[in-house]
Structure 1
Amino acid sequence: MISLVVATVLLLIHALVCLVLWTLMKLGLLPVRGHMLTVMVLVPLWGPLLVALLSVRSAVFGADLKDATLETLRINDDMHRSLLVQGRERDDGVVPLEEALIVNDPGDRRRLMLSMLTEDPDAYLAQLQAAKLNDDVEVAHYAATAVAQISKESDLKLQQLERAFKTDPSSHNLDAYCDFLGAYLDSGLAEGCVAQIQRQQYARLLARRCEREDVPALRIRYATALVDAGEIDKAEDVASQLVIDASDEQDVWMLCLRLAVIRRDGQAVQRVIDAIDKQHVYLNAENRERLAFWHEGEEAR
């Protein structure tokens, strides 16, 4: 009974305090926002105390505290934005694909193989072909199976494009068939006699495209296809005309260099090197390394 009386008295005191504070808020003497009234009423003792503390803080510091707080937040935000994310010194378990297939333990190799198979096998074709020769029998089996599946799908698409081209030899079908066949040959999926037949077909398709669209880039592809197909004489004829029409193209001179190397003609190699130096032909990093290799070889001779 005494506890009930005490609780009732405390609640009445709390209600009286809330009424006084509310009156002060209405009169503008208590600089506290109206939404704090809920906290003040529903939280006995601590609610009114919190409202009183907020009013004292506002009276003492005023708007300066708000401005200072905002400025601090702005500075901290700028500092965080300017921080550079540093790479971890140690990336455990992250290794190059080739290294994982060659030197890592069997668990890493098999996890990597399964990852490649589940993500996008086509994107890892070169690694899968290398993995076919791996000492790990399971890895080699997975790789061979994946390559066989990719090869099967590529052969099917190639047949579809060839059929579409024979049915309708339009420019669109010619370009689609020719481009896919070129990518197919570059992938290394074709082997042996089949690859040789496909290279000859690729050269014929490029010849038809050159008849329709005579541009240096297409003729360079045509001459390169002729070299790959073993038709060196035709490739040299195309390359000779390219030297006249597009002497500033680095791929033209790399083609000439390749033809000279195939002919095993040291003098022709030196003429190509001299012509590139004389005409100041721009070469990318890969072609500069290739040219330096043959240049050093000629100097050694």
Structure 2
Amino acid sequence: MLRGSIAVYYVLTAVYLVLLFRRREPMSGGRAALACLIPFAGLPLAFIAGRAAAKSASADPDRFADVVGLKADPAGILVKVDLEKETSIVPIEEALVLNDHATRRRIVMDALKEESLDLVGFLAKAARNEDSETAHYAVTAILEMKRGMMAELQRWSVERERHPDDPSILAGYADALKRYLGSGLMDAEMERTYRLLQADVLERLIREKDCGEEAFADKVECELVLRRYDRAEAASERFLQAYPQSETAYYTALKLYYTLRAGRKFHETLNRLKQSSVTVSYPTLQIIRYWSRGSL
């Protein structure tokens, strides 16, 4: 009698499991385990769990859509969420690997709409994606960004020719060059060409009164990248002369002499900073403490 009851129970359980997995209902694995591992009581418990899950999901359909990462487009078709939500949960590399091809394409298309230079690295990775259409979208986005970059730099070049000594034009041109040089959109030869142009624009800019600390710091950094160390040092000295109470001016000089392994000048600058009345931030204070204990 008992064997017959168990046989009937597992026949019913088998039918239930077929229906359960065919419908792809929530908590399928757990409910299947209940039905199989607890004879007689397992099947009713699985039914109860199923009804509870259904009520929970239907109670707040918008919340359910958020949890599973789905949204309905205007046509009523469920689609994946946007770039920011996709890539805020997992790294970009994983987002392009773990998601299906359609989602990868949508992520890249969302990136294209952003038109932000911060996304160049992401698009470069997407351009190497195994899905050819995803890679095509990424390459298209990069080319469009390059086109926009060149157009903006050309506009600033024309403005500079018209007003070669206008501080606002020089500052705008320097800012555009800085952004694009840091974008990763330029190859090595192109980058050096525009880096030299940046150095020239910044040289003209720092001759102006009240040009700002950033222009001096950028000039020193630019000359360091170009390995024109004498010009970098000259710009650093002018920075300290123009802004003798600037923490940034001292920090820039310390960074320069550290890069050049110029120990004597490094410690001379460090001692000048320690003896000055400049208010320093905690990171700079840590530098002072560290290098006051040792030598370069």
Report the TM-score when normalising by structure 1.
0.55
Q: Give 1 or 2 for the bigger CA radius of gyration.
A: 1
Decide which of 236, 240, 253 is 1:239's aligned counterpart: 236
Instruction: Establish whether residue 206 from structure 1 lines up as the match of residue 202 from structure 2.
Output: yes
Q: What amino acid is the match of 2:281?
A: L
Query: Residue in 2 aligned with 1:220?
Result: 217
Pairing of 1:105-254 with structure 2 (within 5 A):
105-107=98-100, 108-117=103-112, 119-122=113-116, 124-132=118-126, 134-138=128-132, 139-169=134-164, 171=166, 172-217=168-213, 218-254=215-251
Query: Residue in 1 aligned with 2:90?
Result: 99
- Contact conserved, 1:100 with 1:112, CA < 8 A, in 2? no
What is the rounded CA distance, in whole Å, between the counterparts of 2:109 and 2:248 in structure 1?
39
| CA displacement 1:77-96 (0-9 Å, x = unmatched) | xxxxxxxxxx99x9554454
Give the CA RMSD over aligned residues.
Answer: 3.8
| CA displacement 1:197-250 (0-9 Å, x = unmatched) | 211111111222222335451333333332233321111122123334424323
CA shift, 1:255, in A, is 1.6
Aligned CA distance change for structure 1 residues 250 and 186 (closer, same or farther; 3 Å): farther
CA shift, 1:125, in A, is 2.7
Count of residues paired in the alignment: 209
Query: Residue in 2 aligned with 1:69?
Result: none
Query: Residue in 1 aligned with 2:15?
Result: none
Q: What amino acid is the match of 1:128?
A: F
Aligned CA distance change for structure 1 residues 205 and 195 (closer, same or farther; 3 Å): same
Q: What amino acid is the match of 2:223?
A: L
Query: Residue in 1 aligned with 2:16?
Result: none
| CA displacement 1:107-152 (0-9 Å, x = unmatched) | 25433222212x3222543443552565544444432321121011
What is the rounded CA distance, in whole Å, between the counterparts of 1:230 and 1:133 in structure 2?
32
What is the rounded CA distance, in whole Å, between the counterparts of 1:252 and 1:259 in structure 2?
11
CA shift, 1:259, in A, is 1.4
Decide which of 244, 258, 263 is 1:261's aligned counterpart: 258
Q: What amino acid is the match of 1:106?
A: N
Partner of 2:143, secondary structure, is helix
Aligned CA distance change for structure 1 residues 300 and 275 (closer, same or farther; 3 Å): closer
Matched-pair identity in %: 18
| CA displacement 1:31-57 (0-9 Å, x = unmatched) | xxxxxxxxxxxxxxxxxxxxxxxxxxx
Partner of 1:187, secondary structure, is coil
What is the rounded CA distance, in whole Å, between the counterparts of 1:269 and 1:91 in structure 2?
55
Q: What amino acid is the match of 2:226?
A: A
Query: Residue in 1 aligned with 2:281?
Result: 283
CA shift, 1:273, in A, is 5.2
Q: What amino acid is the match of 1:152?
A: R
What is the rounded CA distance, in whole Å, between the counterparts of 1:168 and 1:125 in structure 2?
33
**Any stretches of 5+ residues in structure 2 without a counterpart?**
1-62, 70-84
Aligned CA distance change for structure 1 residues 220 and 101 (closer, same or farther; 3 Å): closer
- Contact conserved, 1:203 with 1:229, CA < 8 A, in 2? no
- Contact conserved, 2:254 with 2:269, CA < 8 A, in 1? yes
Aligned CA distance change for structure 1 residues 135 and 185 (closer, same or farther; 3 Å): same
Report the TM-score when normalising by structure 2.
0.56
